[in-house]
A and B are shown apart, each in its own frame.
Chain A
């Protein structure tokens, strides 16, 4: 099957309406003539023998690393860390990549007679995964072999007994990470690189770190200087993580990094219209669109949420590479770009985005207003290399219902952030200065993070910092179809329709602006020249 690259469509009279994601649903919008629509490249072909490819990668590492079997020996202490529920999006159809890689690693460890093996979910300050989520990521065989013996753990950034302070970088950044992982003879990290920002030194330096360590790069200043954080060389976030990663390596922590990439085959065949170009929709696509839209309009948000979160993505592995972190990550990034890159000529006055129901922090949960902001201004806005899709001072128009709904179990501190912080200010720098510490050190949030399934107290702050670059860059943010009060709380302008939004935007960009729509997901990276 030959695949078509990304595509930039110029809207003319004959262009059918364009699909916008709208939370747990979607809508068709007619874009002004002359607008550009960016379509993701079609999915790359999956590796035909994933287990074989994994084995090959483990046996033929890149960079300064021996093949995995050579690193394994009886009596050693082995820790296998893996990305948590935030990857991939949506969660993939079983078997999950993590399961396939970890089974392969464990086979080799068994062959070598390694019996001190611990698995660690690299949560950073994310919520702990539930049993069924862990079973889905690792498979029942791995789960049942480890979990009952306490050997399947989740990184606890507040467990003083299991953290180790390795030192400080020359910039004074504390490095405090998971002790078991850091003191093992070998740390194998199993990664899924959904977007270019994932992986590399960020896997260990962020995924296994504590608040004390994270605060050095998870802050407004760093994020304002990460342009974009999807483009590692231009990202201050990555520079800091790389400094830390090198320090960790120099401290003698031996890491065997395994990174994988996915294709853009994001939705199951029943929803295939979501990743097709509208003028190519067949009768079935149109019928599915009409049927689903009509049905979704009639069910409560709770139910539509349930329907969407049960979607398992068919995305398949396109590459796997293992070995030394930086060498591995170079290959990975290249593979991500191969799949996701779209070349775009010039910036636009207005960027429009339809935000879907999911982001890395609401898997099996609720996309609250703060996450809406983060997905739009953090993730999607930053899907560029070179320069942002939208010009300095331009307008970002998002489409999302933005209901003030929160998952009280997963996002307790988000509720208080929304009620107590955003009511005072939306300025990331002020928020950082005035409010962060009290949330970060709050014993109740820490309690919920450690014993339940709650994101850490400081996490909503990070979501807001994620928006810092966009907030600095944009002239205005408008959310179409959002709960007006919630949208205003975020500091944005509510609009009831795309036309209204364009009218509001005209104050900033004039009456005949250029407009670009990022038709995602599926995810793409705009190479803006």
Chain B
């Protein structure tokens, strides 16, 4: 067994071990190369250092399940003995290695560089830093270490672009289909573009736009939150521009996207700087997919290129996908790529210029796109996914339209849904209706994603390039039968029908949270779990908003009730007419800034006799507010109290109005109005506790009572309460209006739908009852 023998006891230095290919590589070396030792370069995360990331993201992966079984008790010790992590980053010159890292690199026999940003839509600068500059940074570090190690740089078959015809296993400089572009110019241009975009995004007009977008997303949540969101929007804008720039530049040079473009430039850079000085081999796999056999059939890590498309298709969401049925879809199982790399490692570097190996199936064992579609369709017809009602989903039949047509269709759908979303968030809806808006947003996201797939991957289904594997097969022939068993990398062994039906698709389904069984979903239990966490005795504080969270009322209708309480019949009509006429402007002001709205609306109480209001407020509460209350909400407050949690009501409502609610809560923070000579002045004594002020009130309150906000629950209905919801560990969106509904959905917040008791009051503008003073009035009743 030459491979196992030749590599026995070798020291490997691997980048990209936390990735799909890297994980498989580490596992295979541990399992199949006796006594080989591995150092992995891992970028320390914010919460975990390199060793912790190795343990959590690599060793814990189910890739190692087989080894765990085989080794049993000695697994941990064996892994600890043979694998270690050193901190570093291929995005930094010198790889950011510390002393130990440099020592490990100096001791290495074989360096495998598989770190890359494989996303086809990475921002240009990120792709440039990692894919373009990464290989030469590794080359430089190897050269500096003086180890003379063999550097195997993992690239992609698509660096040879997607031109028609056959691509040989040769350096790009020998390939007549790729343009000879100066990689240094590309790096400079990308960095300059990033700086320009950063500057551009800070121009006043752009900033105004970002703020406007932030406001439309989260509404009157308060300046700080809007600023935070606007900054995020700005960063996203820069990033999107960089993604687009990467794609544009790649297209202009004949690559389908920034990934193969930057990988190609990376090869050039590595050869130009270190060719001849460091022994280099390029391994260029095509599209890597789940394992054919090792460590076990179907092993896959993460969602790769084809999976989202397959799942979207199976869910009936991709009605069409472009592609040429006769075109070849070049897929290669991950274990074949791993074996090829180890074969190359065992074979050693060539003495001349760097050599190149394709690991691709297209020439040796072509798999037609039309065949894949038929297999997939067949599979999902027999093993359908199920919708949320438990009915099987029919998969669409694709007619292989051109890419342009599919894109046009999807863009139209995108535009229509953007409009619908805008309309819905502008409407004053909440609860289940707002859910509709959120559902449309979901659909929209799926449609956008479908469009993304088509734009990103369309080129790969239409490609006609054939990646020759003559060198790979020559290498294959140098190994004996035992190697062919243990380190199989001949693409000819793949039986596509079997691979698709019995290996790949079942594995994709297993890794996707989709329903593969009929009947009631098990996923529905999530709200139950969330509710349990919310009502755990460990919680400290439950804070509630009032309007639309605990009762369906607002300052306008409580005012209407109080103001009309003692009005004679004749004047009521005029009162109502006035209020209705002002409604649009009141609504608009409320949407713009709730604080301004409250302050201005509360002026209406100027000169109102406080004693009478206090008395009437009790009647208002029992006759009106209680009948518009949400019994589930009240029950929840009481449940919190029963569990020993502190309960706090924070509301912009006036103190005399919520007075009857006092016994429900431990504490109440509300608006208080100045009084003079028994009359209200119409001015609040303090800022009303709304928007961001609520978060402050809440924080102060928690501090005062030594309660942990992490252990607290907040209930609110509107995006204007965002600050308060974000302040606690357990935010709950109650009957959320469209914007909060969308936010809650995105962030996975628990949502409650609390309704008025069936039998509660449904009057749109409740007025106070007539005074029952004259005997005639009583008789009339």
Contacts and interface: CB of A to CB of B under 8 A. Distances in A.
A351 B413 CA distance: 62
A267 interface: no
B631 interface: yes
A331 B756 CA distance: 48
B619 to A, nearest CB: 9
Interface in A329-345: none
A415 B757 contact: yes
A346 interface: no
Interface string A282-304: 00000000000000000000100
A136 B775 CA distance: 10
Contact of B663 (A135, A136, A447): A447
A459 to B, nearest CB: 16
B622 interface: yes
A491 B626 CA distance: 29
Interface stretch (B206-214, B423-431, B702-710, B758-766): B758-766
Given A366-B759, A415-B757, A444-B663, A406 B631 contact: yes
Nearest to A94: B779
A403 B781 CA distance: 27
A46 B217 CA distance: 72
Given A132-B778, A405-B758, A415-B631, A451 B660 contact: yes
Contact of B781 (A132, A408, A452): A132
Interface in A403-462: 403-409, 412, 415-416, 419-420, 442-444, 447-448, 451-454
B623 interface: yes
B621 interface: yes
B422 to A, nearest CB: 34
B629 interface: yes
A404 B631 CA distance: 13
Contacts of A451: 618, 622, 660
A444 B634 CA distance: 10
B627 A407 contact: yes
A140 interface: yes
Contacts of A415: 631, 635, 757
A50 B8 CA distance: 116
A219 interface: no
B531 to A, nearest CB: 14
Nearest to A368: B759
Interface in A136-175: 136, 140
B638 interface: yes
B533 interface: no
Contacts of A136: 778, 781
User: Contact size class for B?
Assistant: 20 to 34
A407 B638 CA distance: 19
A49 interface: no
A444 B621 contact: no
A64 interface: no
B623 A135 contact: no
Contacts of B756: 408
A131 interface: yes
Contacts of B696: none
Interface in A50-75: none
Contacts of B631: 406, 408, 412, 415-416, 419
B772 A408 contact: no
Given A132-B772, A415-B757, A416-B631, A409 B622 contact: yes
A302 B759 CA distance: 7
B758 A452 contact: no
A454 B626 CA distance: 10
Contact of B760 (A140, A368, A408, A454): A408
Interface in B612-656: 618, 621-623, 626-629, 631-632, 634-635, 638
Nearest to B663: A447
Contacts of A408: 626-629, 631, 756-757, 759-760
Interface string B744-781: 00000000000011111010000000001001001101
Nearest to B770: A132
B775 A407 contact: no
A413 B757 CA distance: 12
B399 to A, nearest CB: 47
A341 B105 CA distance: 106
B626 A416 contact: no
A406 B757 CA distance: 6
B664 interface: yes
Contacts of A132: 772, 778, 781
A406 B627 contact: no
A33 B758 CA distance: 39
Given A366-B759, A407-B757, A412-B631, A453 B775 contact: no
Contact of B758 (A94, A140, A406, A444): A406
Nearest to B622: A452
B106 to A, nearest CB: 70
Contact of B627 (A135, A368, A409, A443): A409
Contacts of B621: 452
A131 B756 CA distance: 26
A65 to B, nearest CB: 34
Interface in A234-253: none
Nearest to B632: A419
Given A416-B631, A444-B664, A406 B759 contact: yes
A136 B759 CA distance: 24
A405 B757 contact: yes
A133 to B, nearest CB: 10
A420 B635 contact: yes
A404 B758 contact: yes
Contacts of B664: 444
A396 B760 CA distance: 31
24 contacts: A132-B778, A135-B772, A136-B778, A140-B775, A302-B759, A366-B759, A403-B758, A403-B759, A404-B758, A406-B759, A407-B760, A408-B626, A408-B627, A408-B759, A412-B631, A412-B634, A416-B631, A444-B634, A447-B660, A447-B663, A448-B622, A448-B626, A452-B621, A452-B660
Interface of B: 618, 621-623, 626-629, 631-632, 634-635, 638, 660, 663-664, 756-760, 762, 772, 775, 778-779, 781
Given A405-B758, A408-B757, A409-B622, 12 more contacts: A140-B775, A140-B778, A302-B759, A403-B758, A406-B759, A407-B759, A407-B760, A409-B623, A415-B635, A444-B638, A451-B660, A452-B660
Interface of A: 94, 131-132, 135-136, 140, 302, 366, 368, 403-409, 412, 415-416, 419-420, 442-444, 447-448, 451-454
List 9 A-B pairs, minimum CB-CB distance, nearest first.
A405-B759, A452-B622, A405-B758, A415-B631, A408-B757, A140-B775, A447-B663, A409-B626, A366-B759
